[in-house]
Amino acid sequence: MKKRGARRLLGGVSESLGFDAERLFGPKPQVEVLETEKCRIYLINGSPILAASGDMVFPTLFFKEQLSRLPRVIVDMGAVPYICRGADVMAPGIVEIDGDFGEGDLVIVLDERNRRPIAVAQSLLGSEGARMAKKGRVLKNLHYVGDEIWGLMKDMASS
């Protein structure tokens, strides 16, 4: 990706997600774009830090600095295999919501037992609505353990 395009991308994402790209990645980060069938993956200094699906740009599960700033939704262990196959997060699987968010905001999904990130999702309801929901979809799954972004990282680590 050309320097101007990389600066524009990181500037826009930094503003929308609330982080300082230059502090995290240095003054001249190397940005590469991988196009897949489902999304674009942005490698920043060799790591898959951001992904985009349509106009939505979101942090990957490898962007630990940003994930720690997102609201958290903890799901029961019965929901984990479904979420890790791409299913959206349903109200009955949610055991705890930590933080406040609005409709359309990004959240991190953690498993109940280990409290490890298993997905990045977009809220379909605000946090109050999500806390009160008894049925239906609450979060749209954008990226999860085992998807193509995850697989790419594992392939890169093994080569």
Greatest C-alpha distance within the chain = 48
- Asked if residue 72 and residue 60 are part of one domain, the reply reads no
- Asked if residue 75 and residue 59 are part of one domain, the reply reads no
Please state, in angstroms and rounded to a whole number, the distance separating the CA atoms of residues 56 and 123: 13
pTM of the model: 0.90
pLDDT in tens, the chain (159 residues): 788 888 888 888 888 888 888 888 888 889 999 988 888 999 999 888 999 988 889 999 989 888 889 999 999 999 999 999 999 999 999 999 999 999 999 999 999 999 999 999 999 999 999 999 999 999 999 999 999 888 877 776 565
For 126-157, the three-class secondary structure string (H helix, E strand, C coil) is CHHHHHHCCCCEEEEEEEECCCHHHHHHHHHH
Residue 24 domain-assigned (yes or no): yes
Please state, in angstroms and rounded to a whole number, the distance separating the CA atoms of residues 146 and 138: 21
Residue 137 domain-assigned (yes or no): yes
Q: Which of 15, 46, 64 is the last residue of a domain?
A: 64
- Asked if residue 13 and residue 59 are part of one domain, the reply reads yes
pLDDT for res 129 = 96
Q: Which residues of 101-128 are buried (b: 16+ CB within 10 A; e: fewer)?
A: beeeebbbbbbbeeeebbbbbbbbbebe
Residue 82 domain-assigned (yes or no): yes
Domain that holds residue 59: 3-64
SS3 22: helix
Domain count, the chain: 2
- Asked if residue 78 and residue 49 are part of one domain, the reply reads no
- Asked if residue 119 and residue 93 are part of one domain, the reply reads yes
- Asked if residue 137 and residue 80 are part of one domain, the reply reads yes
Residue 158 domain-assigned (yes or no): no
- Asked if residue 106 and residue 76 are part of one domain, the reply reads yes
Q: What are phi and psi of 111, to 5 degrees?
A: -80, 150
- Asked if residue 74 and residue 136 are part of one domain, the reply reads yes
CATH no. for residue 135? 2.30.130.10
